A and B are shown apart, each in its own frame.
Chain A
Amino acid sequence: MIIIDPGMAVAVQDTGRFGLRRFGVPVAGALDPVLLACANALLGNPSDAAGLELLVSGPILAADEGSVAVALAGDVSAQRIAADGATSPVKPWTAVVLAAGEQLKIGAPRTGIAYLAVSGGIRSAPMLGSRATYRRAGLGGFLEKGGDLPCSAPGALHRGKEWHWENGPIRVVPGPQDDHFQPESLDALERETFKVGPASDRMGLRLSGKALAHNDKGAEIPTDGVVPGVIQVPGDGQPIILLADGQTTGGYAKIATVISADLPRLGHLRPGDAVRFKRVTRREARAALKERQAAFERWCAALSGAAGEIDHEALYRANLISGAVSGVDE
């Protein structure tokens, strides 16, 4: 597909770049890999296929040669613009086929972040083993006006239910440096409400709220490894949660770590949003992740036009709107 307009803060993301943290290279990848996997599933792509992460304003893309299937996941919608200029709405959670010459104008997510998947996944050249975008070091795919997003002809076309993240507190496991804090600070982390600050981005969420006081061990530690989801607390007591683009090591004491099951929810928070935390054990963290995986598998199983079958209704609808002859070329 050709990029007519790159939009704002739109980036190619997959599930991240692993194995290079010892060189200081962050994992990067989708802030919400579950939502990316949903978008991919609507097209029969593997869960980790690269798609576009949408944050501010979406791009305008055009199917240049042959038809392309696309699917949106998240609180976002788009417009299909036919060659003759006629427009029709494109909703999320449904695969849509764009005929050659048609454009897709994607809006801004109304809440959180959203993803666009394309048939076959975006097949830009991987860098250091991944297509994930990490802007600071020029890694990954950048959207430029006139640029190309290589993809395949349409395959499976599915329609799914909306994927909902729960709204409860973000679950954390204490540590690794909870012993650097006053006992009251761990209680405060669970009791208080924190607010997402304006300086938040893909590197991390800067929170403000009741200061989390350190004990005499202090805020600084000999620099050690971190993961997305660790809650660092500098000397001022205001927590910073590292996200996908966060550094690989850090020198501030980490009071707690967000569990993997809840990490994708952090990607949807915007400046001004409120955050609450709840302490859980590692055993509970593991159970929560298994439950989330099971929920995703149930979501996939409920797609209309299940794997191996052709979703005639979706195909018919897609072709009716696009006028394309075939939606299943390979």
Chain B
Amino acid sequence: MAEHADRTPQIPELAPRVRLLFLGDSAITLELPQEHAERVLGLAAALDERIAAGAFPGARETVPAIRSVTLHFDPLKADPDSWLKALEEIAAAMPTARPEPRQWVLPVCFDAEFAPDLAEIAGKPADFIEALTTTAVTVKMLGFLPGFAYMGDVPEMCRAPRRKTPRSVVPAGSVAVAGPMCAAYPWTSPGGWNLVGRTPAKLFDPANTERPALLAPGDLVRWKAVSRAEFDRS
């Protein structure tokens, strides 16, 4: 049998099309036809429930993303081919989840030292700051780095393409925009987003074993401008 045949299982005619994509022998991504936050979270929750009930022996964890959920498993213990029908059925039931959104107000300092890209991408920095701090953004997913939350959508005025050449060092706490998204870097790392400010908020706490990341998908975040003096005090 052609290998590709079992990468795209048969889906009932009227069921919403979910593609099952294997990542080698250690994960399957269940991909929705388009971005849909409630269906992504619903699918992740439904899979978690079935994993906890023992339906997928060897399954390790699920990772919700923009329009997909990745199911990781132990390749020595799992037999994912025996899961395909159950996965299709779970996806076809179109579970949705709308977690009660937690609301966060995160301080951000737009001091020029923290915002090397602000002048270049904003016609008037003051207008950019006004637009960014008056629009609540939703956490779409976590990824890239521990506690790194992809948030959107930012107002049109605050959008800018990724930098052509990523920086090799983006300081921890940097608040950045790319396309319709904004984010804060919890850790110093390389990065290609445009740096527009810095937050003193602690976005990841390894001591919190249940929920080490401050933000979770579905959370609402509003940025609040703070002065340099306030930033330095916090």
Instruction: Write the residues of chain A forming the contact surface with B, with a CB cutoff of 8 angstroms.
Output: 18-26, 127-129, 134, 136-139, 172-177, 222-227, 229-230, 247-250, 254, 256-260, 281-283, 285-286, 289-290, 293
Contacts and interface: CB of A to CB of B under 8 A. Distances in A.
- Interface residues of B: mostly helix, strand, loop or mixed? mixed
Interface in B147-190: 147-148, 150, 186-189
Nearest to B24: A257
16 contacts: A20-B212, A22-B64, A22-B142, A26-B146, A128-B209, A136-B187, A136-B189, A174-B4, A176-B29, A224-B67, A225-B63, A227-B24, A230-B24, A247-B144, A257-B22, A257-B26
B21 interface: yes
- Interface residues of A: mostly helix, strand, loop or mixed? mixed
The 5 closest A-B pairs by CB, nearest first: A225-B70, A249-B143, A257-B24, A176-B21, A23-B213
B106 interface: no
B142 A24 contact: yes
Interface in B99-148: 141-148
A143 to B, nearest CB: 19
Nearest to A292: B76
A259 B186 contact: no
Interface residues of B, number: 49
A249 B63 contact: yes
A290 B141 CA distance: 35
A117 B64 CA distance: 36
Interface string B1-27: 001101100000000000001111111
B19 to A, nearest CB: 9
Contacts of A257: 22-26
Contacts of B44: 22
B141 A21 contact: no
Contact of B25 (A23, A223, A249, A285): A285
A226 B21 CA distance: 11
B175 to A, nearest CB: 17
Given A136-B145, A249-B141, A224 B66 contact: yes
A227 B31 CA distance: 16
Given A250-B143, A256-B24, A260-B75, 10 more contacts: A18-B61, A23-B213, A24-B144, A24-B148, A136-B187, A223-B141, A224-B67, A248-B143, A249-B141, A257-B25
A227 B35 contact: no
Nearest to B64: A22
Nearest to B3: A281
B22 A137 contact: no
Contacts of A172: 24
Given A22-B63, A136-B188, A137-B186, A227 B27 contact: yes
A177 B21 CA distance: 8
Contacts of A21: 61, 63, 72
Contact of B24 (A18, A224, A259, A293): A259
B231 interface: no
B143 A18 contact: no
Contacts of B25: 173, 257, 259-260, 282, 285-286, 289
A13 to B, nearest CB: 17
B199 interface: no
A248 B21 CA distance: 16
Given A128-B209, A281-B3, A226 B23 contact: yes
Contacts of A260: 24-26, 75-76
B194 interface: no
A230 B72 CA distance: 13
